[in-house]
């Protein structure tokens, strides 16, 4: 079972995701950043179900440094590169 996110850093990340997700309406009309906002909505769902920070493909923990840069990341760098190659 995954540990619930309780640290202040995780809370900050969750707030960032909320901000990204709330940009979705603007992004839909401008056509920019839509994908990132959608990813943020998905990340919020992962926080709710306790799988946030776990790679969707290899199921290993996504490095904190990656989540700092891209809090909505669903995959570790290696799996993301492989995913984009498909
Ligand atoms: Zn992975």
Span 9-59, pLDDT tens digits: 888 888 888 887 776 555 454 555 567 888 899 999 999 999 999 999 999
Q: Is the pTM of this model over 0.95?
A: no
Q: How high is the pLDDT of residue 47?
A: 94
Taking the centre of ligand 1 as the mean of its atom positions, its distance from the CA of residue 52, in whole angstroms, is 13
C-alpha–C-alpha distance, residues 79 and 86, integer Å: 11
Ion ligand 1, residue ranges at CB < 5 A = 55, 57-58, 76, 79
Taking the centre of ligand 1 as the mean of its atom positions, its distance from the CA of residue 37, in whole angstroms, is 21
C-alpha–C-alpha distance, residues 83 and 4, integer Å: 27
C-alpha–C-alpha distance, residues 11 and 15, integer Å: 6
Domain boundaries, the chain: 8-85
Helix axes 8-22, 34-49, angle to 10 degrees: 140
Q: How high is the pLDDT of residue 64?
A: 95
* SS3 state at 61: strand
Q: Which of 1.10.3720.10, 2.20.25.240, 2.40.70.10, 1.20.120.910 would CATH assign to domain 8-85?
A: 1.20.120.910
Q: Which long-range contacts (CB under 8 A, 24 or more apart) does 63-70 make?
A: 67/13, 68/13
Taking the centre of ligand 1 as the mean of its atom positions, its distance from the CA of residue 35, in whole angstroms, is 20
């Amino acid at each position: 079972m995954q540990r619930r996110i309780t640290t202040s850093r995780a809370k900050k990340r969750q707030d960032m995701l909320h901000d990204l997700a709330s940009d979705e309406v603007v992004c839909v009309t401008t056509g920019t950043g839509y994908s990132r906002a959608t990813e943020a909505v998905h990340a919020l769902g992962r926080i709710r179900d306790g799988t946030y920070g776990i790679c969707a493909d290899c199921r290993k923990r996504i490095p904190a440094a990656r989540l700092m840069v891209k809090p909505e990341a669903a995959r570790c760098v290696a799996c993301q590169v492989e995913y984009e190659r498909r």
